Amino acid sequence: MEFWVGSFEYGILLGSFLNAPIGFFAYKKECLEKEAIIVAFFVSLIVFLAAFVFWVLLIAFFISSSALTKWRGKRKKEVAEKFEKTGKRDKYQVIANGFAATLMAAFFLVTDSSCFVLGYLATISTVTGDTWATEIGVFSKEDPRWILNLKKKVSKGTSGGISLLGTIAAFTASLFIFSTYFLVDFFVKRSSSVSFPENAIFSIFIVIIIGFFGVMIDSFLGAIIQGYYECKKCKVKTEKRVHCGEKTILIRGKEWFNNDIVNLSSSMIVVFLAVVFSPFLL
Ligand SMILES: [Zn+2]
């Protein structure tokens, strides 16, 4: 195991020093709940130890997603009725979005194998794409379409619903991750332990596409297995288990398959695909 920062101790020290102000910012801006900040701190520390470029991508995901969540927050309130969780992210959301990335970073740290770099890029691109699609997609003027039948329209915020705006947002997120990777790789090559062959641009582009595909898998899982409920009182359809102070009724999917499990599953599928296809890409 080699540390790009030199030693494990120095890595922990420098990583903590860099992560602390971001954690403080997340606390002040109410982006994350307290326990979520602790989980996120450890996630970013492992990621930082693995490679500097990994850490920059994680921070790029976190800052862009938090900013989009805050953006025009009031207009989102009507759609917030439907989402299981909104605003401040809890520890389960951090684990759901960060588990696959942490796993890839840890594997890369131990094995130094480039296939885990591809896995890392794929999952970061999926979770960023999913968040961007959700936060920007709600502003779509048209109602989203049902991913299992694109001719059918569903109301905004329905899991499994996709809009053109949301899809473009997810694709843009992939490009954002792609360009951030190359910028960092270009400027701080020597401080990062990640090295790819000369023709890696194509490989990485494919991985970004896998990441974008992950956002589609996410919507797909949202449509077929995620638990979806109806409020007995106001008849609103929602991901929430309780609405108008009463327990909602399950109308489709599995009760245990919530939005966090959807995110965790789609990021794990994407990581698996990227690693499996890596021999053809590297
Ligand atoms: Zn209700």
Residues 214-259 pLDDT 10s: 999 999 999 999 999 999 999 988 989 999 999 999 999 999 999 9
Q: Is residue 245 part of a domain?
A: no
Q: Which residue ranges of the chain lie beneath pLDDT 70?
A: 74, 189-199
Task: Please count the structural domains in the chain.
Answer: 1
Q: Is residue 23 part of a domain?
A: yes
Q: What is the pLDDT of residue 107?
A: 97
Q: Is residue 30 part of a domain?
A: yes
Distance, CA 239 to ligand 1 centroid (Å)? 12
Distance, CA 232 to ligand 1 centroid (Å)? 7
| Nearest residue to 130 via CA among 228, 200, 64, 77 | 64
Q: What is the pLDDT of residue 68?
A: 92
Q: What is the pLDDT of residue 195?
A: 65
Q: Is residue 248 part of a domain?
A: no
Distance, CA 82 to ligand 1 centroid (Å)? 10
Q: Is residue 241 part of a domain?
A: no
Q: What is the pLDDT of residue 71?
A: 83
Distance, CA 229 to ligand 1 centroid (Å)? 10
Q: Is residue 243 part of a domain?
A: no
Domain that holds residue 22: 8-226+256-281
Q: What is the pLDDT of residue 264?
A: 97
Q: What is the pLDDT of residue 197?
A: 57
User: b/e per residue, 137-173, with b = 16+ CB within 10 A?
Assistant: bbbbeeebbbbeeeeeebebbbbbbbbebbbebbbbb
Q: Is residue 45 part of a domain?
A: yes
Q: Is residue 3 part of a domain?
A: no
Q: What is the pLDDT of residue 80?
A: 78
